[in-house]
Structure 1
């Protein structure tokens, strides 16, 4: 039974892995720089960006960011002290607290996104079909359905 799967040590596979690593490293580097301009850490900026999509309970934030809930509590505490995030009861379960961005937090998250040019600018150079193909390939790599 023939397969199209490449061996893990195939030179092309290694090159693709290296390129993905380089893209991720450059993205994180730029994220840290942009966050610093707003006196935020990269983790604070990522959490704020996540919350700008929807308010979330602490446990789900920890799962999404792949970190300990106690770390999330500390990050939320610091963002709350800056007036960027607030805790509010979950309408579905009043025992659960949601972290949600304030108006200032939403504005800051938008500014952060707007200042991140590394990923957005090269992607704009690709055709729509290329961007769709790249998205679909990345979703397949992550086990998501395109």
Structure 2
């Protein structure tokens, strides 16, 4: 009988060991992303992900050789900063005024040349960055994108 009790206690000990081992393996597997780190840990990509903020369309009078022309411009700003929507809503009059001044100084031929598009985007980026900084708006604009540009 002593052999039977030892056998039962060995079986019980072995069963407990298997249960403990399985529980430990399950826990380590469940916690491995936080324990190991690296590619298993999800990064906060939203903080670094650029977002696009469309502005209301502009209709601007542009001087031409004989007649005035009109420019319909739709654009968006690309930024990784936080609170961009709120800041753009507050600074909307500054942004619109600055862009209207910039484009109204351009000649029709200058705006009608597709090779000038990138230069205009860079000029608008520098202009908006400066205007917002001068007026104490903490926003960093990565890029200015013209999403639609019609000149008549």
Q: Whose strand proportion is higher, 1 or 2?
A: 2
Normalising by the smaller structure, the TM-score range is under 0.3
Higher relative contact order (CA 8 A, sep 6+): 2
Larger radius of gyration: 2
